[in-house]
Amino acid sequence: MSVDAIKLASQYIPILELDEHEPFLPQAVGVTVLDQSAPSPSFRRQIKLDPKFTMLVIEFAIYWDYDIQHLYDLEHVWVYVGKDGSVTDCEASFHGKYFKGLLPDRSNVEGQRVKLYCQAGKHAFSPLKEIFPLIPNYSTCTYEEAGEAGLIITAPFQGVIETSEQINSVVHSNLQRYRFRPSGRYSSYSIPEELLMSWEQLRQVIPTRIQEQLRLMESD
């Protein structure tokens, strides 16, 4: 991906509203810029671009070293950009699916940046914070269930990284140290531009970061 594409994407980086007790921050963001309909390179979905209203779609694949329940987390935001440079639409991942990220009255758009709330510890996105307490394990997943999923293997890394009962046990023990209860209060977080890279670069980086985190966990 060119420097110009990264510069373009940096203008549309979503603003994240993080719970005040959130223990983790994004570590890297993989960017893909699409000027026509195509499959997402990092999420199981088709991105549909209507050229009448949209010039391009920017996919942000946001990587955390940890989800409170498992090692490594990859969440997504799709920003649709019109011919005049304005945000025409937004979608955001939510536990393997995705929601609209743009409120009907556009009240969560600040200039060219969409503001999204981030589920405490789990990093699912929503333009409305009120949806999170409706999740049945909203409070228990960050405390009693911390670390219980170990190291998960998602589609982009099938056959690239491996897990085991021993690895899962190490991850569980370490993530139990971070357990917390969501506060329900949020603070704005701006992802630094220097975290942006192409999706292909990030796909190469993630397995290395996972191994680094496992080594750190095993040495504790």
**Per-residue pLDDT reduced to its tens digit, 164-182:** 999 999 999 999 999 999 9
- pLDDT tens track for 99-122: 999 999 999 999 999 999 999 999
Q: Which structure tokens are listed for 123?
A: 């990093």
Q: Which structure tokens are listed for 175?
A: 């993530």
**DSSP bridge partners of 188:** 17
Q: What's the pTM?
A: 0.96
Calpha distance 169→189 (Å, rounded): 32
Strands 28-34 and 196-198: parallel
Binned at pLDDT 50, 70 and 90, residue 2 comes out as low
- pLDDT, residue 156, reads 84
Residues 6+ apart with CB under 8 A from 143: 179, 180, 181
